[in-house]
Amino acid sequence: MNTTLRLTPGDKVGIIACSDGIKQESKPKVDELIGWLEGIGLEVITAQTLLRRDRCFSGPPAERAAELNKLFANREVKAIFDISGGDSANQILPYLDYDRIRSSRTPFFGISDLYRVLRFVMVVMRRMFIDAGFVFASAAGHQEPPPPYLI
């Protein structure tokens, strides 16, 4: 089975923040990312829980999980990118629809504390993936890649 992700113009991708929400002052960077993705021909679906609403959260855990569940349920979404970081991703685990995730073929990418969610998702999907965090960390300007993990 070939597990190479190939996105082509017209494909839909989801952007979400399952952990700490994106700061309002970072919205221009998010808009730049969306513009870049659209510039290469992708259609971007943005989760309703992307930006912070109070303190550091973009919504309660159940709402953040519901947004991720929606992306996994959308058969047109070819990849899901979590662009958050922080320390609250584990809060969504009890609210994830593991049957829906299991039936999905959609790859899910993230860094930082998203490893917790990624590991659960990969176990549920019964698939092995090599972490792609370095690609996103490099794009964000980090100098050192995170250690590679085989999940």
Question: Which domains are seen in the chain, by residue range?
Answer: 12-108 (3.40.50.10740)
pLDDT at 135: 40
Model confidence, pTM: 0.77
Q: How is residue 12 written in tokens? A: 């839909």
Instruction: pLDDT band for 139, please (50, 70, 90 cuts).
Output: very low
Q: Tally Cβ neighbours within 10 Å of residue 110.
A: 26
Average pLDDT of the residues in 117-136: 54
